[in-house]
C-alpha cells in the first residue's frame, strides 16, 4: 500500500508540474481530483462533526430542550435545500439571509477587534515608556506605527465634496498624508506577496525533492 500511495503521489505531482508546459488535460484531471477529494473530505467532516452531533443525535436522543434547539437549524437546513428548485427557491432565501448576516457580523467583528482595536492598542502601547534605556527606540517605533496608521486611514478618506468634472477635492494636507499611507500600503502588499511567494516556493521545493527521491528509489 505504501508503494501504491507513493506512486499515486508521484503521478499527481507530475500532473500538476505539467502546467509548466501549459494548460493540458493531465493538469485539469489533477485539479478535478483535488477538488473532488476536498469536497468529499469537507462533506464527511460536516456530517460527522456538525449534522450528526448537533442536529440528528439531539433530535433522536436528546432532551426536549435539546430537541427544540436542534429543530431550528434542522428547519433552516431543509429550507436551504429548496434553493435547488426553481419554483421553491424563494423558501431558501430565509437560511441564506441568516448565513449572510451571520457571516457579515463575524467578519465585521473580526475586523474591529482583530484589526482596528489591535492596531490602536499597538499604537498606544508603543508610547508607554518604562524607566531605563531603550525609550528612544520605543519612541521611534511608536511614531512610526502612529504615522503608518494615520496615513493609511487618510489614504482611504473619500468623504469630501466633488469638484469640477466629478473629481474629488481633498485638502492638500490630506493628499500629502495619503501619499505616505500609499507607501505603507505598498510595503504591506509587498510583504504579503513575498510571504505567499515563499510559501509557494516551499511547496514547489518539497514536490521537487519528492520527485527526485522517487526517481532515486526507482534507480
Q: Quick check: helix, strand or coil at residue 168?
A: strand
* Placement of cell 489614504 in the chain: 155
Summarised one tens digit per residue, pLDDT across range 99-111 is 999 999 999 988 8
Residue 135 C-alpha cell reads as 525609550
Please tell me the least confidently modeled range out of 73-87, 93-107, 139-153. Answer: 139-153
The DSSP line for 118-154 is HHHHHHHHTT---SSS-HHHHHHHHHHHHHHHHHHHH
Mean pLDDT of the chain: 84
Average pLDDT of the segment spanning 154-182? 71
How many alpha carbons fall within 13 Å on the CB side of residue 58?
16
Q: What is the pLDDT of residues 173-202, one digit of tens each?
A: 778 888 898 999 999 999 999 999 999 889
- Domain positions in the chain: 134-219
pLDDT-derived band at 19 (thresholds 50, 70, 90) equals confident
- The pTM of the full predicted model, rounded to 2 decimals, is 0.60
169 or 161: which carries more pLDDT confidence? 169
**Sign (positive or negative) of CA dihedral 11, 13, 17, 23:** positive
Residue 73 contacts by C-beta under 8 Å, 6 or more apart in sequence? 54, 55
Gap between the Cα atoms of 215 and 219, Å rounded = 6
Amino acid at each position: 500500500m505504501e508503494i501504491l500511495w507513493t506512486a499515486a503521489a508521484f503521478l499527481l505531482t507530475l500532473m500538476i508540474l505539467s502546467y509548466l508546459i501549459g494548460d493540458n488535460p493531465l493538469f485539469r484531471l489533477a485539479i478535478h481530483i483535488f477538488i473532488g477529494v476536498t469536497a468529499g473530505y469537507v462533506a464527511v467532516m460536516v456530517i460527522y462533526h456538525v449534522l450528526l452531533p448537533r442536529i440528528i443525535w439531539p433530535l433522536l436522543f436528546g432532551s426536549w430542550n435539546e430537541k427544540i434547539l436542534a429543530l431550528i437549524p434542522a428547519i433552516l437546513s431543509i429550507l436551504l435545500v429548496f434553493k435547488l428548485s426553481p419554483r421553491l427557491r424563494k423558501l431558501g432565501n430565509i437560511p441564506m439571509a441568516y448565513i449572510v448576516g451571520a457571516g457579515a457580523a463575524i467578519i465585521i467583528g473580526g475586523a474591529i477587534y482583530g484589526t482596528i482595536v489591535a492596531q490602536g492598542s499597538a499604537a498606544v502601547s508603543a508610547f508607554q515608556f518604562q524607566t531605563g534605556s531603550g525609550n528612544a527606540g520605543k519612541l521611534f517605533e511608536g511614531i512610526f506605527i502612529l504615522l503608518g496608521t494615520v496615513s493609511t486611514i487618510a489614504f482611504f478618506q473619500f468623504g469630501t465634496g466633488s469638484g469640477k468634472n466629478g473629481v474629488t477635492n481633498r485638502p492638500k494636507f490630506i493628499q500629502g498624508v495619503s501619499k505616505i499611507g500609499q507607501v505603507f500600503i505598498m510595503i504591506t502588499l509587498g510583504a504579503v506577496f513575498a510571504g505567499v511567494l515563499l510559501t509557494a516556493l516551499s511547496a514547489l521545493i518539497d514536490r521537487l525533492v519528492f520527485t527526485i527521491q522517487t526517481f532515486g528509489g526507482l534507480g
